[in-house]
Structure 1
Amino acid sequence: MLDLPFEKWTLGDALAQRVEASGDAPFIRMVGGAPLSYRELQAQVLGLAEALEREGVGPGDRVVIMGGNCLATLRCWFALNLLGAADVTINTAYRGRPLVHAINTAQARLMLVGTRQLGLLAECEGDVPLLERVLHFDDETDAPVASSPGVRFARLELAPLPAAQAPSPGWQWPGARAQDLASIIFTSGTSGPAKGVMLPHAQTYLVSLESARQLQLREDDVYYIFHPLFHMSPRYVAIYAALIAGAQVCMDRAFSAADWLPRIRACGATVSIGHGPMLEMVHAMPERPDDADNPLRRLATSPFPWHIAADFERRFGVRGLEVWGMTEVNIPLWNSLDEPLRPGCGRLISDEYEIALVDPETDLPVPDGTAGELVVRARRPWTLMQGYFGMPEATLKAWRNLWFHTGDLAWKDDAGCYHFVDRLGDRIRRRAENISSYEIEVAAMQHPSVRECAAIGVASEFASDDDVLLVVVPAPDFDAATLLAHLARRLPHFMVPRYIDTLAELPRTPTNKVRKAALRERGVQGTTWDRKAHGMDLRALVAGRS
Structure 2
Amino acid sequence: MAANGTSNAGTIAELVRAQWGDHRIGAKYGDRALTHHELAGGAAARAALLGELLPRGAEPHLGVLLDNVPEYPLWLSAAALAGAAVAGINPTRRGPELARDISHTDCALLITERAHLPLLAGLALPLPPERVLVVDDPAYEELLAPYEGTPPDQIAAGSTAARPPTPDSRMLLYFTSGSTGAPKAALCSQGRLAAAGHSLVGYLGVRRDDVHYLCMPMFHGNAVIAGWAPALAGGAALALRRRFSASVFLPDVRRYGATYFTYVGRAVQYLLATPPAPDDRDNPLRTGFGTEAGTVDTARFAERFGVRLIEGYGSSEGGAAIQRTPDTPPGAVGRPAPGDDLAVVDPETGTELPRARLDPAGRLLNGEQAIGELVNRGRSSFEGYWRNPGATAARTRGRAEGRVGAGWYWTGDLFFRDTDGFFHFAGRTDDRLRVDSENLAAAMIENILARYAPAAGVAVYAVPDPVAGDQVMAALALHEGAVFDPDDFAAFLAAQPDLGTKMAPRFVRTVAALPVTATNKVHRVALRRAGFRCPEPVWWSPVTSAARTTAPAGSGYRPFTDEDRVALLALYRDQGRAHLLDR
TM-score interval, normalised by the smaller of the two chains:
0.7 to 0.9
Deviations 1:285-339 (A, max 9, x none): 3322221111111111212411233232122111121111121116722224x66
- CA distance in 1: counterparts of 2:78 and 2:419, whole angstroms: 46
Alignment equivalent of 2:183, drawn from 184, 189, 194: 194
- CA distance in 1: counterparts of 2:303 and 2:551, whole angstroms: 37
- Segment drifting more, 171-180 vs 55-64: 55-64
- CA distance in 1: counterparts of 2:115 and 2:527, whole angstroms: 38
Counterpart mapping for 1:191-270 below 5 A = 191-270=180-259
Alignment equivalent of 1:469, drawn from 470, 473, 476: 473
Q: Residue 383 of structure 2 aligns with which residue?
A: 386
- Does residue 166 of the first structure (1) align with residue 164 of the second (2)? no
- CA distance in 1: counterparts of 2:255 and 2:131, whole angstroms: 36
- Does residue 529 of the first structure (1) align with residue 526 of the second (2)? no
Q: Residue 99 of structure 2 aligns with which residue?
A: 100
Note closer, same or farther for the CA distance 1:328–1:422 as it changes in structure 2 (3 Å cut).
same
Secondary structure, in 3 states, of the residue corresponding to 1:54? helix
- CA distance in 2: counterparts of 1:18 and 1:412, whole angstroms: 43
- CA distance in 1: counterparts of 2:543 and 2:371, whole angstroms: 37
- CA distance in 2: counterparts of 1:204 and 1:227, whole angstroms: 18
Note closer, same or farther for the CA distance 1:371–1:257 as it changes in structure 2 (3 Å cut).
same
Q: Residue 335 of structure 2 aligns with which residue?
A: 347
- CA distance in 2: counterparts of 1:241 and 1:533, whole angstroms: 36
Deviations 1:399-450 (A, max 9, x none): 1211111111223334443221222222111111111111111112234333
- CA distance in 2: counterparts of 1:341 and 1:214, whole angstroms: 19
Q: Residue 83 of structure 1 aligns with which residue?
A: 82
Query: Which amino acid is 1:13 matched to?
Result: E
TM-score, length-scaled by structure 1? 0.86
Q: Residue 566 of structure 2 aligns with which residue?
A: none
Query: Which amino acid is 1:266 matched to?
Result: R
Alignment equivalent of 2:523, drawn from 515, 527, 530: 515
RMSD: 2.9
- CA distance in 2: counterparts of 1:308 and 1:278, whole angstroms: 11
Counterpart mapping for 1:428-507 below 5 A = 428-460=433-465, 462-475=466-479, 476=482, 479-488=485-494, 489-507=497-515
Secondary structure, in 3 states, of the residue corresponding to 1:227? coil
- CA distance in 2: counterparts of 1:120 and 1:387, whole angstroms: 29
Secondary structure, in 3 states, of the residue corresponding to 1:429? strand
**Conserved? CA contact 2:292–2:469, under 8 Å:** no
Note closer, same or farther for the CA distance 1:136–1:538 as it changes in structure 2 (3 Å cut).
farther
Note closer, same or farther for the CA distance 1:335–1:419 as it changes in structure 2 (3 Å cut).
same
Deviations 1:187-228 (A, max 9, x none): 122231111101111111122222221111101111112100
**Conserved? CA contact 1:444–1:483, under 8 Å:** no
Query: Which amino acid is 2:13 matched to?
Result: G
- CA distance in 2: counterparts of 1:220 and 1:509, whole angstroms: 59
**Conserved? CA contact 1:275–1:304, under 8 Å:** yes
Query: Which amino acid is 1:446 matched to?
Result: R
Q: CA deviation at 1:66?
A: 1.2
Alignment equivalent of 2:47, drawn from 46, 49, 57: 49
**Conserved? CA contact 1:110–1:132, under 8 Å:** no
**Conserved? CA contact 1:428–1:466, under 8 Å:** yes
**Conserved? CA contact 2:371–2:416, under 8 Å:** yes
- CA distance in 1: counterparts of 2:276 and 2:541, whole angstroms: 29
- CA distance in 2: counterparts of 1:103 and 1:122, whole angstroms: 14
- CA distance in 1: counterparts of 2:214 and 2:66, whole angstroms: 16
Identity, in percent, stands at 28
Note closer, same or farther for the CA distance 1:15–1:320 as it changes in structure 2 (3 Å cut).
same
- CA distance in 2: counterparts of 1:200 and 1:449, whole angstroms: 47
Q: CA deviation at 1:357?
A: 2.2
Counterpart mapping for 1:50-199 below 5 A = 50-56=48-54, 60-125=59-124, 128-129=125-126, 133-138=130-135, 144-146=136-138, 162-163=143-144, 166-168=148-150, 171-173=154-156, 174=158, 175-199=164-188
Deviations 1:222-278 (A, max 9, x none): 111210011111112111101111111111111222222222222211111222322
Note closer, same or farther for the CA distance 1:510–1:101 as it changes in structure 2 (3 Å cut).
farther
Q: Residue 371 of structure 2 aligns with which residue?
A: 371
Q: Residue 417 of structure 1 aligns with which residue?
A: 422
Note closer, same or farther for the CA distance 1:222–1:110 as it changes in structure 2 (3 Å cut).
closer
- CA distance in 2: counterparts of 1:539 and 1:118, whole angstroms: 25
Q: CA deviation at 1:529?
A: 2.2
**Conserved? CA contact 1:310–1:341, under 8 Å:** no
Note closer, same or farther for the CA distance 1:131–1:360 as it changes in structure 2 (3 Å cut).
farther
Query: Which amino acid is 1:470 matched to?
Result: A
Q: Residue 345 of structure 2 aligns with which residue?
A: 358
Note closer, same or farther for the CA distance 1:539–1:503 as it changes in structure 2 (3 Å cut).
closer
Segments of 5+ residues of structure 2 without an aligned counterpart are: 159-163, 357-369, 398-405, 545-549, 557-583
**Conserved? CA contact 2:64–2:87, under 8 Å:** yes
- Segment drifting more, 360-369 vs 433-442: 360-369
Query: Which amino acid is 2:512 matched to?
Result: A
Secondary structure, in 3 states, of the residue corresponding to 2:461? strand
Segments of 5+ residues of structure 1 without an aligned counterpart are: 139-143, 148-158, 542-546
Q: CA deviation at 1:342?
A: 4.5
Q: CA deviation at 1:531?
A: 3.7
- CA distance in 1: counterparts of 2:396 and 2:6, whole angstroms: 30
Secondary structure, in 3 states, of the residue corresponding to 2:18? helix
- Segment drifting more, 249-258 vs 479-488: 479-488
Secondary structure, in 3 states, of the residue corresponding to 1:172? helix
Q: Residue 155 of structure 1 aligns with which residue?
A: none
**Conserved? CA contact 2:266–2:293, under 8 Å:** no
Q: Residue 573 of structure 2 aligns with which residue?
A: none
Q: CA deviation at 1:540?
A: 8.7
Query: Which amino acid is 1:172 matched to?
Result: I
Query: Which amino acid is 1:56 matched to?
Result: L
- CA distance in 2: counterparts of 1:161 and 1:324, whole angstroms: 44
- CA distance in 2: counterparts of 1:259 and 1:303, whole angstroms: 22
- CA distance in 1: counterparts of 2:14 and 2:551, whole angstroms: 50
- CA distance in 1: counterparts of 2:377 and 2:543, whole angstroms: 45
Note closer, same or farther for the CA distance 1:61–1:455 as it changes in structure 2 (3 Å cut).
same
Note closer, same or farther for the CA distance 1:533–1:305 as it changes in structure 2 (3 Å cut).
closer
